[in-house]
Chain A
Amino acid sequence: MAFRRTEHHRGRRVLATLLFLLAPAAAAEPDRFSASELERIASHGPWPTAWMRDPGNRVSANPAAVHLGYRLFFEPRLSANGRVACATCHDPARGFQDGRATARGLTDGVRNTPGLFDVRQQRWFGWDGGHDNLWSASLRPILDQGEMGGSAGRTAHVLRGSAALACHYRQAFGKAPTAGDSDLLVNVAKAIASWQETLLSPPAPFDHFRDALERKDVAAAAAYPAAARRGLKIFLGRGQCATCHAGPNFTNGEFGDIGVPFFIKPAGVDPGRQGGIKRLLANPWNLLGAYNDDATGGNTTGTKFVRPEHRNFGEFKVPTLRNLTLTAPYMHNGSLATLRDVVRHYSDLDEDRLHADGERILRPLNLSEAENADLVAFLESLSPATPLPPPVVPAPVPACRAP
């Protein structure tokens, strides 16, 4: 009897779910979803997505390279003053960000440090997309005089000074790290990239909700807070946020001008994507160059055809919305301190800053305070519900383990 009652309840729940999912009036309800909305919710998953190695990096997923990259990511001796490592700005405890408005390496920078979770999924790298591959993007800060100020010679010295590092380099690349090796820096960057490719964010509350809807598991879906649900409706509907923040990683991987000022101090402007494309095309380490390990050239299409346009001036990358609670402040220049500020930016959008024939989807959302809070609740649901453990330390390869 108890079994039957349970079945009966389950049956009612399924019926309620179907009504919940498909009721014609659902779109008008503050926290119910229409069939169209459900379809769009499904498009933001599943998470995590399938991982694929980078064909442009021959040591992508190579265990020796991953271990070497991990060690070098935290290695301050690569920098000119011996005190700045990749991890100085990309702090694992902060979603591989630094919590500052703009980065500080050897000197102060002008852009906000992006987090590194799920970086393997990106198509362009850096706020301006000045790189078309992760290893090239990882190489630049090592040499940049304002960030680490390093060099090939310094890097080779660090590698040769450690039997374990030198061994992993040999295992990964088949040769010793010599000071005169012109490939050395690129190889080091490829190793660092191979480690960053392993940084994957775990499913967030939204993912559990999305998966529960897919399974038609009402009980599990009910655990998703009502405020986040209402915020999700705004995200999909009035906000049109999903137009750019699309797919499982909540980004279309491209660039936009959302009306954030881009002056820099003390004078001048940050040209954003327009400057990024010019740097990309001039970069000897882009995918059109000799260091791309993809013999098919299948990964070069974007770089072959991208050209700077007037509209790119002041455009910045559409960032992922995952892990935002770990990576404040926000925007390319860190000018917005909180997620509430970000939502308010879109709510009170200054249309005068947008070209009349530019970002046509952007209009002030004119959200109430309650709606603002709902949208923030949804954004927060894209971050892990509990603190993330430190990244897993990749094991040394057997050939390089100390006897």
Chain B
Amino acid sequence: MKSPRHVPTAGAARRPLATLLAALAGLSGALAMLPAASAAEPKLPIFDAHVHYSHDAWDRTPPKEAIAILRKAGLKRAMVSSSSDDGTQKLYAEAPDLVVPSLRPYRKRGEISTWVRDETVIPHLEDRLRKFRYAAIGEFHVYGSDADLPVVRRMVQLAKQYKLWLHLHGDSDAIERVLVQDPEARILWAHSGFDRPEAVRAMLRKHRKLHADLAFRNDHATGGKIDPAWREAFIEFPDRFLVGTDTFTPERWYYIAEHADWSRAWLADLPKDVAERIGWRNGENLFASMMATK
């Protein structure tokens, strides 16, 4: 009744020997049908577009350890943001080849719902943007008409000034309002807004510079098989989606590797080219390239 240490392995005890033999024969037949190279094929690289490394994470998992987790997971790169930004800078200093920094407007966790009305956010952003290099501002949370508040407007201007992406966690209304402020704004829509695939496709059709991450959602794939509606979205917009873990608590750093494997499993259900683009090439093209050329 308590926590397990070992999963029992005994099984199939009631199956007659003949059944087991038949099953084994079937298994060997199935194995023979797999591409010969599959066993030796290297794991698909992953660009994880949604990693946080806030103060409680770096207390528990210091930068060297955190970087080891990312490398062990087979990540090609990770876009990292943190509250405060110090966490991002610690990781970037440890592994500039692996970490793509993004600047959160939050100086500490707990500002998710207050930052949009907190004018002290602006000098914070301006100060950090002068001092450090970033590919994006975010992840930040904003919904509906809050996107038109002065703090958000100024942040959108700063993104334009520094040619940065906006990693926006919010609804489609907030996206629309930001794009009215700056029609050329490049937005990575966190969690694809937790919208239905049809609604996400409509937004991607409407806004050619809108991209979407799939962090913390499962509805697009089950057991390595992609939902038909999502498949249509991925095939229509292979250059517009990215994957991400969302390490919103420090414990979730220990889920990065499993999330990468989970992503590889469903990406394998797509044409190879599409899988590579969603798995890592889009991230490389959109974000990593910015850090390389600055």
Interface residues of A (CB under 8 A from B): 89-90, 103, 105, 109-114, 116, 125-128, 130, 137-141, 143-147, 182-183, 261-263, 268-271, 274, 279, 282-285, 289-291, 307, 309-311, 313-314, 351-353, 355-357
B10 contacts across to A, CB distance below 8 A: 182, 284
A290 to B19, CA, bound (A): 14
A310 contacts across to B, CB distance below 8 A: 216-218, 245-246, 255, 259
Which label, helix, strand, loop or mixed, suits the secondary structure of the B interface?
loop
- Pick the contact of B252: A127, A147, A313 (CB < 8 A): A313
Binds A, one of B1-9, B38-46, B150-158: B1-9
Interface pair A268/B110, CB less than 8 Å apart: no
Interface pair B141/A182, CB less than 8 Å apart: no
Q: List 30 A-B contacts (CB under 8 A).
A: A89-B2, A109-B2, A114-B1, A125-B1, A127-B3, A130-B4, A138-B1, A140-B4, A141-B2, A144-B5, A144-B6, A147-B2, A147-B5, A182-B10, A182-B13, A182-B14, A183-B14, A261-B249, A261-B251, A290-B15, A307-B222, A307-B223, A310-B216, A310-B217, A310-B245, A310-B246, A313-B251, A351-B112, A352-B110, A356-B112
Which 7 pairs across A and B sit closest by C-beta, in order of nearness? A284-B11, A111-B3, A182-B13, A352-B109, A309-B218, A103-B2, A146-B5
The residues in B between 1 and 33 inclusive whose CB is less than 8 angstroms from any CB of A are 1-8, 10-15
A289 contacts across to B, CB distance below 8 A: 11
A309 to B5, CA, bound (A): 21
Task: Evaluate whether A282 and B7 lie within 8 angstroms (CB atoms) in the complex, with A111-B2, A141-B2, A314-B251 already known.
Answer: yes
Residue pairs across A and B with CB atoms within 8 Å: the count is: 118
Output the residue of A126, A140, A289, A314 with the most chain B CB within 10 A: A140
A145 to B13, CA, bound (A): 21
* CB-CB nearest in chain A for B3: A111
Interface pair A357/B191, CB less than 8 Å apart: yes
- Pick the contact of B216: A140, A269, A291, A311 (CB < 8 A): A311
A141 to B141, CA, bound (A): 45
* CB-CB nearest in chain A for B218: A309
B249 contacts across to A, CB distance below 8 A: 261, 314, 353
- Pick the contact of A144: B4, B109, B110, B252 (CB < 8 A): B4
- Pick the contact of B8: A146, A183, A285 (CB < 8 A): A285
* CB-CB nearest in chain B for A263: B251
A144 to B3, CA, bound (A): 10
Task: State whether the Cβ of B266 lies closer than 8 Å to any Cβ in chain A.
Answer: no
Task: State whether the Cβ of B162 lies closer than 8 Å to any Cβ in chain A.
Answer: no
B2 contacts across to A, CB distance below 8 A: 89, 103, 105, 109, 111-114, 126-127, 141, 147
A262 contacts across to B, CB distance below 8 A: 251
- Pick the contact of A103: B3, B12, B194 (CB < 8 A): B3
